[in-house]
Amino acid sequence: MTHADAPRRGDAARLFALVPCAGSGSRSGAQLPKQYIPLAGEAMVSHTLRALSRVRRLSATLVVLSAEDAWFEHHLPAFAGPRGWVARCGGATRAATVANGLAELLGRGAQAEDWVLVHDAARCLLRPGWVDALIDACLAEGEAAIGGLLAAPVADTLKAERDGRVASTIDRRGKWAAQTPQMFRIGLLQRALVQAGAGVTDESAAIEALGLAPRLVEAPVENFKVTWPADFALAERLLATREDAA
């Protein structure tokens, strides 16, 4: 895509997915980045990208790798194409990787008013229908839409911990567990990340720091982030037994 392909003023804003894929996955205990660990016969990130490829309203999905990544093309040799983009510009933190990916999207012809859906590579149980629900909810708010994120209401009783013991019980009413994708306009998210700094752990938090309130769009807890060693067995079982990833 060139700058000439970018939408002109008055055209409908386009939608892009951005997948930060530059992490080491140290919490998983694996010998390689967790996004490449095989699940149900394929690298974890393969399942993630297949789900995004089935969201027809996405103009393209950009995967942001670290400069040292030596695995992606081995596991996904056919990914690159008109709707599959790769950039080796990952940063030291998630926020830096996303910021670098946003700059890459703009360099490839996206515009500041276009939408970006940032999705974790390790949320490999994603279903296209959940992404479409997020898009519908955000676009329904019109030109003034801020954006939003998939999330699940917290069902468990929450405890605050101190030195391995319960310090207090936290009221779970009104509490949601944030998921991805998180959908915002590229220019707004760029500005938010600059102001929030490298320590921000998700895109919504950066937007919230501007005084804005992203929309929560309910999704199942099945859209969990594979993080700890026990998560891999659960994700593989779900991938092996699910029917169609609609």
pLDDT tens per residue across span 13-23 = 999 999 999 97
Task: State the average pLDDT over residues 20-46.
Answer: 81
Place of tokens 């993630």: 48
Asked if 87 contacts 101 with a C-beta cutoff of 8 angstroms, the reply is yes
Residues contacting 132, CB < 8 A, separation 6+ = 55, 57
Task: Output the pLDDT for position 10.
Answer: 41
CATH topology of domain 8-241: Spore Coat Polysaccharide Biosynthesis Protein SpsA; Chain A (3.90.550)
Is pLDDT larger for residue 170 or for residue 10?
170
The share of the chain scoring above pLDDT 70, in percent, equals 91
Task: State the average pLDDT over residues 132-141.
Answer: 97
Report the C-alpha gap between 162 and 233 in whole angstroms: 30
Query: Which tens digits make up the pLDDT trace of 225-239?
Result: 999 999 999 999 999
Report the C-alpha gap between 150 and 134 in whole angstroms: 7
Task: State the average pLDDT over residues 23-27.
Answer: 56
Residue 232, classed as helix, strand or coil, is helix
- Whether residue 62 has pLDDT greater than 90: yes
